[in-house]
Amino acid sequence: MPVTSEDVSFRGWDGVDIVIVTGDAYVDHPSFGAAIIGRVLEAAGCRVAVLSQPKEGDFERFQRPKLAFFVSAGNLDSMVAHYTAAKRKRSDDKYSPGGKAGYRPDRALNVYCRRIRSSFGNVPIIIGGLEASLRRFAHYDYWDDCVMPSIMEDCKADLLVYGMGEKQSLEIYERLKNGEDIKDLKDIKGTCYLVETRQTPWEGIECPSFDNVRTNKKEYARACKIQHDENDHVRAKIVKQRQKEKMLVQNPAMPPLTQEEFDQVYDLPFSRLAHPDYGELGGVPALEEVEHSIIHNRGCFGDCNFCSISFHQGRTVTGRSKESVIKEAKKIIADPAFKGYIHDIGGPTANFRHPPCKKQEKSGACKDKRCLAPKVCENLRVDHSEYSEILKSVRELEGVKKVFIRSGIRYDYLLADKDDNFFADLIEHHISGQLKVAPEHCAPNVLDKMGKPHIEAYLKFARKFYTLTKQAGKEQYLVPYFISSHPGSRLEDAIELAFFLKKEGIRPQQVQDFYPTPGTVSTCMFYTSLDPFTLEEVYVAKDSKSKAMQRALLQYFEPKNKGLVISALKKANRFDLIGPGENCLLDYSRKNSRRSQGKKRRK
């Protein structure tokens, strides 16, 4: 799609209808939101141009668009892209040329929208993408350690699109093209808008206001529950929240794409390449991870509290047809750079293909319980047969040497399948020596706050994994991920996890400290110290020393962590875990150290 005024002139256009502004480098691949929305609009006859990572003065590049600016911070929230969980500035940005940081500003949506307003006055501005979607209500901002109003207040945008956005974008385009005023587009599903309080619609449910959630943490927790309860395209109501002087109105979610619509999106003429201008700058590293990968589904009924997927994409899973996936695989095979390896056929959760039960399809997702945690729901429909058939068909294509699965596998869902064929195929064909899984913790009280199954499910899965791996005559390993300092995790829980890791022979090489990103239930718990679903108090490790001790305990075996681990054990009065012996957590004696150096570490 055009990225310069010369590109526009070359096409013989006298201007553009919509300018898509993105905080990412422009990559014409269906894993990048700006590319998807641009191609969908283009297919509908819209004249689209892309303005990627604009600097001061770039916003006038295409003059004033005839219809609107569509603005996104990119595939990530710009603050998550820029800062670690310790609030340290990142030195790289995989969505930028050469992987270098500095191509986009902090709080990119705010900056971009203000510059557009400065240049073009009352031009329609529609914001979307993850930063907009997760900050649509008043929200806790970890980086400034305060509650901020809806991002619409700061951006002064006309509409906010939440969720994936294809249907909303098409409807907005068609109605603007037909002469409707942007201020009249207040009935589009999957969008939010601001109005004067006297214009607030009567229907729907109102959650506590910005002023209330800013000053009262219990009100913040109540608002969080309402927002997550009403995030469903079948049964949700309009949700309202007073901001400063205006009322934010969220229309019910847009229904997800049908399989036919899903297939049509991925059949659009993506080049699957980064724009050639980035070649001399080192390309765009984010493309390397997905260039030869295929997305086959959307949505996630796993609904982990620390994850933003269900609040953005929803809990309804939809899948592409086998024919569509095979068609994309053939495009990948035709790429001269393809070496025979499909790196992933996955999505938010790789082994989900359809809604979890008939009830969700008819009545929407349950408000009061999850499909998989703390135990698998008795109504859950478990079936891997269609996914297995897709994987088999792709790996049998001429030119394909191997098809890997690198997206997350829900092992509890896999265990619930009475048919072991998919598990056997996974072991035999789709692992590159290591399979990454996410038990996250072992303490039941912490896992409950995460919305994850209890550790017994992981242990059962691990036993079966290694049994089937041995039967297949392979040497393959599980790489389990764990989160430190998640709300609910006390020092005692971190010690329990460390002892669990020792007992199971697991030595994590990477540990993720809990990161309070906008819009998640876990972030609500981090800020309020309350569980929004029960209003019960939740312990939260916030000071740097407490978080450092919990993190160090997960890598208790590293000599560099010796001081922190001993401090943690002493603080918890667990002197019994210091010293030699199998029942101790650590022993930094010289003899023990020499013995461990020659021992192969088990992942």
pLDDT tens digits along 485-526: 999 999 999 999 999 999 999 999 888 999 999 999 999 999
Query: CA quadruple 191, 196, 198, 199: dihedral positive or negative?
Result: negative
pLDDT at position 367 is 87
d(CA 234, CA 254): 9
Which of 497, 513, 539, 295 has the alpha carbon at shortest distance from 407?
Answer: 295
Answer whether 366's CB lies under 8 Å from 424's CB: no
* Helix (H), strand (E), coil (C) string for 252-292: CCCCCCCHHHHHHHHCCCCCCEECHHHHHHCCCHHHHHHCC
Query: CA quadruple 353, 355, 361, 365: dihedral positive or negative?
Result: negative
Query: CA quadruple 295, 436, 130, 187: dihedral positive or negative?
Result: positive
Beta bridge partners of 22: 52, 72
What are the two backbone dihedrals, phi and then psi, of residue 301, each rounded to the nearest 5 degrees? Answer: -90, 5
d(CA 223, CA 213): 8
pLDDT at position 590 is 45
pLDDT tens readout for residues 38-49: 999 999 999 999
Answer whether 85's CB lies under 8 Å from 144's CB: no
pLDDT at position 589 is 52
pLDDT at position 510 is 82
d(CA 236, CA 239): 9
> Which stretches of the chain score pLDDT less than 50?
590-603
pLDDT at position 588 is 57
Q: Which amino acid is at 215?
A: T
pLDDT at position 15 is 94
Answer whether 24's CB lies under 8 Å from 55's CB: no
- Domains of the chain: residue spans and CATH: 5-194+246-250 (3.40.50.2300)
What the block records as the tokens of 229 is 């309860």
What dihedral do alpha carbons 520, 524, 527, 529 form, nearest 10°? -140
